[in-house]
A and B are shown apart, each in its own frame.
Chain A
Amino acid sequence: MLNILLERLRQGKRTVAFPAAMPPLPPRFRGLPVLAESPCAAGCASCAGACPTGALGADEQGLYLDLGRCILCGTCAEACPGRRVSFSRDHRLASSTRDGLVLRPGGRLPHVAPLEPARRKLFAKSLRLRQVSAGGCNACEADTNVLTTIVFDLGRFGIDFVASPRHADGVAVTGPVTRNMLEATLGTFAAVPDPRVGIAIGTCAISGGLFDGSPETTGGATPHLPLDLYIPGCPPHPLTILDGLLRLLGQQTPPPTA
Chain B
Amino acid sequence: MEFPHCQAVPLAGAAVLPPVLFRREILARVDAGWRMLALFGLPCPGGVGLCCLLGRDADGRLAFLRQVPAESYPSLTPDCPQAHLFEREVHEQWGIVPQGHPWLKPVRFTGCPARPEEPRPAPGVTDHFRLRGEEAHEVAVGPVHAGIIEPGHFRFQCSGEDVYHLEISLGFQHRGIEARLIGGPDKRTIHFMETLAGDTTIGHSLAHAALVEALTETAVPARGRAIARIALELERLANHTGDLGAMAGDVGYQPTMAYCGRIRGDFLNLTGLVCGNRFGRGLVRPGGVAFDLDKPTIRELLSRLELTRRAAFGAAELLFLSSTTLARFEGTGRVSAETAREIGLVGPPARACGLPRDARHAFPLPGAGPKDIPMQLHDFGGVYARALVRRLEMEASLDFIHDALIGLPEGPVRQLPAGGLPGGMVAVGLTEGWRGEICHVAVTGDDGRFAAYKVVDPSFHNWFGLAVALRGQQISDFPLCNKSFNLSYCGHDL
Contact = CB atoms under 8 A, between A and B. Distances in A.
A237 interface: yes
B262 A180 contact: no
A68 interface: no
B173 A181 contact: yes
Given A163-B147, A216-B110, A139 B265 contact: no
Interface of B: 108-110, 122-123, 143-144, 146-151, 171-177, 179-180, 187-188, 191-192, 194-199, 201, 255, 258-259, 261-262, 264-265, 269, 272-279, 281-282, 291, 310-311, 314-315, 317-318, 321, 488-490
A214 B321 CA distance: 49
Nearest to A24: B269
B262 A3 contact: no
A215 interface: yes
Residue from A75, A131, A150, A216 with most neighbouring chain B CB atoms (10 Å): A216
A145 interface: yes
A217 B317 CA distance: 44
Nearest to A134: B151
Contacts of A211: 175-177
Interface string A1-36: 001100110110010000000000111111000000
B150 A141 contact: yes
Contacts of A30: 276-277, 282
Nearest to A185: B144
Contact of A10 (B187, B262, B314): B314
Contact of B273 (A26, A163, A178, A216): A26
Residue from A142, A176, A235 with most neighbouring chain B CB atoms (10 Å): A142
Contacts of B259: 7, 11
A179 B108 CA distance: 11
Given A135-B172, A178-B175, A216-B110, A151 B261 contact: yes
Contacts of A25: 272
Q: Interface range on chain A: under 10, 10 to 19, 20 to 34, or 35 or more?
A: 35 or more
Given A149-B261, A149-B265, A235-B198, A135 B174 contact: yes
Given A7-B255, A138-B199, A180-B123, A52 B187 contact: yes
A242 interface: no
A215 B148 CA distance: 26
A94 interface: no
A14 B276 contact: no
A232 interface: no
A4 B248 CA distance: 14
Contacts of A93: none
B267 to A, nearest CB: 12
A103 interface: no
A175 interface: yes
A1 B288 CA distance: 48
A176 B175 contact: yes
Given A161-B148, A178-B175, A137 B277 contact: no
A144 interface: yes
Interface of A: 3-4, 7-8, 10-11, 14, 25-30, 50-53, 71, 73-75, 131-146, 148-151, 161, 163-164, 175-176, 178-181, 183-184, 188, 210-211, 214-217, 234-235, 237
A74 B282 contact: yes
B172 A180 contact: yes
A137 B197 contact: yes
B435 to A, nearest CB: 12
17 contacts: A10-B311, A26-B269, A73-B281, A73-B282, A132-B144, A135-B173, A135-B174, A135-B175, A139-B198, A139-B201, A144-B148, A163-B147, A180-B110, A180-B172, A181-B173, A210-B191, A214-B179
Contact of B261 (A29, A146, A161): A146
Given A28-B273, A150-B262, 12 more contacts: A7-B318, A14-B262, A27-B273, A29-B277, A137-B198, A140-B198, A142-B279, A148-B148, A180-B109, A184-B172, A211-B177, A214-B176
A137 B148 contact: no
Contacts of A133: 144, 148-151, 173
Contacts of A164: 146
Residue from B108, B177, B265, B314 with most neighbouring chain A CB atoms (10 Å): B265
Going nearest first, the 8 A-B pairs with the smallest beta carbon separation are A139-B198, A28-B276, A137-B198, A163-B146, A149-B261, A216-B176, A137-B195, A180-B123
Contacts of A53: 188
Contacts of A8: 255
B413 to A, nearest CB: 14
Contacts of A50: 187
Contacts of B144: 132-133, 184, 188
A3 B175 CA distance: 47
B277 A210 contact: no
Nearest to B272: A26
Contacts of B277: 29-30
A142 B282 contact: no
B198 A28 contact: no
A256 to B, nearest CB: 14
A137 B264 CA distance: 18
A26 B191 CA distance: 21
Given A142-B199, A180-B171, A234-B281, A215 B176 contact: yes
B400 to A, nearest CB: 22
A112 B455 CA distance: 40
Residue from A138, A142, A215, A217 with most neighbouring chain B CB atoms (10 Å): A138
A138 B176 contact: no
A188 B146 CA distance: 12
Contacts of B261: 146, 148-151
Contacts of B272: 25-26, 28-29
A188 B144 CA distance: 8
B314 A7 contact: yes
Nearest to A151: B262
B459 to A, nearest CB: 11
Residue from A11, A50, A175, A176 with most neighbouring chain B CB atoms (10 Å): A11
Residue from B148, B172, B273 with most neighbouring chain A CB atoms (10 Å): B148
